[in-house]
């Protein structure tokens, strides 16, 4: 048994270690961060305190593809590390520039064998001792013929802005501190959040929700708190239920975003925690330009709560659930036409008007014709206008983009104009289209789709 294995066997923790976490937004400049040799009287340990480093290269050993070695140096002198699986932490011993961590505690999350082997190797390396060299934002660890190069996290993975970043949901927080946990979201669901200076919008995997930028109802970003004075409006798509037996969730409860919440950003990670009546609940996200974390432990490291592999959705709205698996249900509906030409910049939509002709729901269930439907929508570069069977609607903030290979349009939440309420289309319970949708053109039709519901349109004029 190696020294690291023996230490871990004695000190392993049943939950996530509490590493020293670098302060979000704290940038480190090479002009102020120097090696011990560059600043007399200042040790390497002092220069590292409060900083986090991510691996950029290694000589003498290959890292598991897609994995990153992370080193965190707490302001209290503690050191924590991960090699793509569990979190390790302990009290370091310094002998000049040689770092040794003789007794390390570790979380107990199972990973694939290559990652576990890499973790064992790196733990043994730290237990035996590594020579540390710090030059500006670059950290080098040398031991046993291996040279590991790391870069300060604020440079390698800078904090993303809260505003105008597309955030993708990857975890659900329940509880706080030692009694809290982070759970993964159900397979096959993609939920997103976008915050602007005066409004927020999110998609829970089934419905789009959003606040309005109208005076008195706008969100306010106050330091690390987002004030939400008015509950977001949401579309009303139901999961549907095609039979008895157990059902599977087709959405994630994101209602913590419906009132004031606290947020923290570290690199490409956003953590949201509720305030007041939603305290003890939260969500974790990664920026769309950043891959999802290696495992739930990475989320727990930044939230300070324990991790579990069990998905959880929380007490969401009272909706019936489908019997099919979400991954299957979220493909394009069975009757949706094969796509032809569509574009991520809104080409084919902008400047055109479309009339609703039919609706397809429940990914294999009902295809409803609307021969007398009065719902039409005209797309503009940054907005859209619609008429319905009860009046006019406006979509004030429309965005065009893509999700993987699918062009998308994010309609946000429609604002009531002359219409006293967001209308239903005839007896359709799904209401009007809103939130982020895929769009395609085929066979003379245009369709918008959540994956569960598709609205089919014909061009007007």
Q: How many domains does the chain have?
A: 3
Residues 204-251 have pLDDT tens digits of 887 778 887 778 888 999 999 999 998 888 766 666 533 333 344 678
**In this structure, are 381 and 288 located in the same domain?**
no
pLDDT on residue 219: 93
pLDDT on residue 230: 86
**Residue 385: pLDDT band by 50, 70, 90 thresholds?**
very high
pTM surpassing 0.85? no
CA dist., res. 15 & res. 78, Å (int): 18
Q: Is residue 161 part of a domain?
A: no
Mean pLDDT over 440-458 rounds to 80
Residues 246-301 have pLDDT tens digits of 344 678 999 999 999 999 999 999 999 999 999 999 999 999 877 665 544 444 44
**In this structure, are 412 and 318 located in the same domain?**
no
Residues 319-368 have pLDDT tens digits of 232 222 222 223 333 333 333 344 557 778 999 999 888 777 543 445 55
pLDDT on residue 330: 31
Residues 147-170 have pLDDT tens digits of 999 999 999 999 999 998 989 999
Residues 96-109 have pLDDT tens digits of 999 999 988 888 77
Can you give the residue range of the structural domain that contains 409?
A: 331-459
**Residue 413: pLDDT band by 50, 70, 90 thresholds?**
confident
Q: Is residue 89 part of a domain?
A: yes
**In this structure, are 261 and 351 located in the same domain?**
no
Parallel, antiparallel, or unpaired: how do β-strands 104-106 and 93-95 relate?
unpaired
C-beta of residue 415 within 8 angstroms of C-beta of residue 213: no
Mean pLDDT over 132-156 rounds to 96
- 26: DSSP letter: -
Q: Is residue 432 part of a domain?
A: yes
Domain with residue 34: its CATH number is 2.40.128.270
**In this structure, are 369 and 305 located in the same domain?**
no
Measured CA angle at 440 (ends 339, 325), to 5 deg: 80
The per-residue pLDDT of the chain, averaged, comes to 74
User: Who has greater pLDDT, 412 or 123?
Assistant: 123
């Amino acid at each position: 048994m190696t020294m690291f294995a023996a230490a871990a066997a004695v000190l392993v923790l049943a939950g996530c270690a509490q590493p020293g976490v670098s302060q979000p937004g704290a940038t480190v400049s090479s002009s102020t961060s120097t090696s011990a040799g560059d600043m007399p009287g200042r040790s390497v340990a002092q220069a590292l305190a409060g900083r986090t480093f991510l691996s950029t290269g290694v000589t003498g050993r290959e890292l598991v593809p897609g994995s990153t070695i992370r080193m965190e140096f707490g302001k209290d002198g503690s050191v924590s590390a991960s090699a793509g699986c569990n979190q390790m932490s302990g009290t370091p011993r310094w002998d000049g520039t040689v770092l040794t961590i003789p007794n390390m505690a570790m979380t107990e999350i199972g990973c694939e064998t290559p990652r576990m082997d890499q973790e064992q190797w790196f733990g043994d390396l730290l237990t035996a001792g590594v020579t540390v060299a710090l030059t500006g934002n670059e950290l080098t660890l040398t031991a046993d013929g291996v040279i590991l190069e790391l870069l300060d996290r604020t440079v390698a993975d800078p904090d993303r802005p809260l505003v105008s970043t597309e955030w993708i949901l990857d975890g659900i927080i329940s509880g706080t501190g030692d009694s809290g946990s982070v759970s993964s979201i159900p397979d096959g669901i993609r939920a997103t959040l976008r915050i602007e200076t005066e409004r927020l919008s999110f998609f829970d995997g089934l419905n789009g929700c959003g606040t309005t930028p109208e005076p008195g109802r706008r969100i306010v970003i106050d330091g690390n708190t987002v004030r939400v004075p008015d509950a977001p409006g949401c579309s009303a798509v139901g999961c549907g239920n095609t039979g008895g037996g157990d059902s599977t969730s087709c959405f994630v409860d994101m209602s913590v975003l419906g009132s004031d919440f606290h947020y923290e950003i570290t690199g490409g990670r956003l953590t949201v925690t509720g305030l007041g009546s939603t305290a003890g609940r939260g969500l974790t996200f990664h920026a769309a330009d950043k891959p999802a974390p290696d495992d739930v432990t990475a989320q727990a490291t930044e939230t300070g709560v324990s991790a579990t592999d069990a998905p959880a959705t929380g007490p969401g709205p009272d909706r019936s659930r489908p019997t099919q698996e979400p991954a299957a249900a979220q493909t394009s509906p069975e009757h949706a036409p094969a796509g032809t030409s569509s574009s991520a910049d809104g080409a084919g939509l902008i400047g055109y008007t479309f009339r609703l002709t039919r609706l397809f729901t429940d990914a294999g269930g009902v295809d409803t014709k609307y021969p007398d439907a009065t719902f039409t929508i005209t797309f503009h570069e940054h907005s859209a206008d619609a008429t319905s069977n009860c009046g006019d609607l406006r979509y004030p903030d429309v965005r065009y983009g893509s999700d993987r290979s699918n062009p998308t349009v994010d309609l946000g939440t429609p604002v009531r104009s002359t219409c006293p309420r967001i209308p239903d289309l005839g007896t359709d319970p799904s209401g009007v289209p809103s939130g982020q949708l895929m769009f395609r053109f085929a066979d003379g039709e245009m369709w918008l789709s959540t994956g569960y519901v598709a609205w089919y349109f014909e061009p007007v004029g």
